[in-house]
């Protein structure tokens, strides 16, 4: 039975990965320091004999007893307001945390999968984004702490692969949503849904013409599972190519929630990417993967979850 260490296991994506690996008979060690995650996300695993939780900051020396076959490095503040609140911790977890993870992988002979991001493409000048695009990132803007930490993490991961022969995988995740996102994490999905459920206006930033493409979490973790077990050593985009403006997205949320649309326009954050859409040709080819959950269905599930919060 293989053992997988998941850093950031108490977070949104990390907790769904823990569920997926447990349901595929893996033993899971979850690690988190709760900086943006929540005990509630893993509470349902407390009586699961194949799940063990270690409360630890991944930027500090890592010492895990026993064998580890795979490491999924998902620890990092991930929403713009989180990484603006914790800029140094964001850089540390991307840089020092990734270094500790790669060192542990080398010691244990484990394969590492790094959670990277569409933010490595910055405010992209190529659209949709393909993996061979090097990006347009402002290193000293407010988002630079996240974007550059992830770019450094990718470079370090490739260095460990080339220099030390560590088996590595890199996923570039595009906007993903679903149950267990924090209601106040500031990202557009939790914001709009919380606002709609509270009867408030949805806060559209800028003129709402910027685009995003939203992937439901079950699709994403299925792609990550396939990537981990594949032979692909270079970065792979995972996300849903269905792109829309944020103004249209607000309409969609109101529609699925069954309420009249109310919006309020606010200032666009600095360096907010104007467009974003994954080119998933590579994922289709090497992983035989593509998203299957319709936006309307994913939003319905997520709205139901937020109603219980
Ligand atoms: P999240 O904030 O819900 O989860 C991140 C988890 O990492 C949290 O539980 C947090 O407490 C933990 N963490 C942060 N720093 C840590 C440290 N030093 N030591 C231990 N634990 C630490 O965010 P998420 O949306 O689940 O994102 C998970 C990963 O996926 C992140 O690496 C993020 O960059 C990446 N990602 C997510 C998206 C998305 O749309 N959700 C998009 C691109 C990339
Ligand atoms: N956004 C918005 N209103 C909000 C939150 C976000 O209009 O209340 C916009 C934001 O400016 C961006 C898009 O929605 O253009 C997605 O933002 P999010 O924070 O979810 O993630 P990003 O894709 O920017 O990393």
Residue in the structure block whose two tokens are 């990132």:
137
pLDDT, the chain, mean: 98
User: What's the mean pLDDT in 227-256?
Assistant: 98
Beta carbon of 142 within 6 Å of any ligand 2 atom: no
Q: Does residue 18 contact residue 9 with C-beta atoms inside 8 Å?
A: yes
- Structural domains for the chain: 3-177+214-241+277-287 (3.40.50.720), 188-210+243-276+295-307 (3.90.25.10)
**Single pTM value for the model:** 0.98
Tell whether the model's pLDDT for residue 309 goes beyond 90: no
Alpha carbon distance 306, 119 (integer Å): 26
Residue among 5, 37, 174 to mutate when testing ligand 1 (max atoms within 8 A of CB): 37
Q: Apex CA 260: angle with CA 256 and CA 266, to 5°? A: 95
- CB-CB contact of 71 with 112 (8 Å): yes
Give the pLDDT confidence of 55-82 residue by residue, as tens digits.
Answer: 999 999 999 999 999 999 999 999 999 9
121, 146, 160, 177: the active-site residue: 146
Residue range 206-228: mean pLDDT, rounded: 98
Pocket of ligand 1 (CB under 6 A): 7-8, 10-14, 31-37, 57-59, 74-78, 93, 97, 115, 117, 173, 175-176
């Amino acid at each position: 039975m293989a053992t997988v260490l998941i850093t950031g296991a108490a977070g949104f994506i990390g907790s769904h990965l823990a569920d997926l690996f447990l349901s595929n008979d893996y033993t899971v060690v979850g690690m988190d320091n709760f900086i943006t995650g929540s005990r509630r996300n893993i509470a349902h695993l407390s009586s699961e004999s194949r799940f063990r939780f270690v409360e630890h900051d991944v930027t500090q020396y890592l010492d895990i007893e026993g064998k580890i076959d795979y490491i999924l490095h998902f620890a990092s503040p991930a929403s713009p307001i989180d990484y603006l609140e914790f800029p140094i911790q964001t850089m540390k977890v991307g840089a020092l945390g990734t270094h500790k993870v790669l060192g542990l992988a080398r010691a244990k002979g484990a394969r590492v999968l790094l959670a990277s991001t569409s933010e490595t493409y910055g405010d992209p000048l190529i659209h949709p984004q393909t993996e061979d695009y090097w990006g347009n990132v402002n290193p000293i803007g407010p988002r630079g702490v996240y974007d550059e930490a992830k770019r450094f993490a990718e470079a370090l991961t490739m260095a460990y692969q080339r220099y030390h022969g560590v088996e590595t995988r890199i996923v570039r995740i595009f906007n993903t949503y679903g149950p267990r996102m924090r209601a106040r994490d500031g990202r557009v999905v939790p914001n709009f849904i919380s606002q709609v459920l509270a009867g408030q206006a949805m806060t559209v930033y800028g003129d709402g013409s910027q685009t995003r493409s939203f992937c439901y979490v079950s699709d994403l973790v299925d792609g990550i599972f396939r990537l981990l077990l594949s032979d692909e050593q270079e970065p792979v985009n995972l996300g849903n190519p269905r792109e829309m403006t944020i103004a249209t997205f607000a309409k969609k949320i109101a529609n699925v929630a069954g309420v009249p649309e109310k919006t309020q326009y606010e200032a666009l954050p600095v360096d907010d990417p104007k467009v974003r859409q994954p080119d998933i040709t590579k994922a289709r080819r090497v992983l035989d993967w593509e998203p299957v959950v319709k936006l309307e269905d994913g939003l319905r599930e997520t709205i139901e979850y937020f109603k219980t919060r």
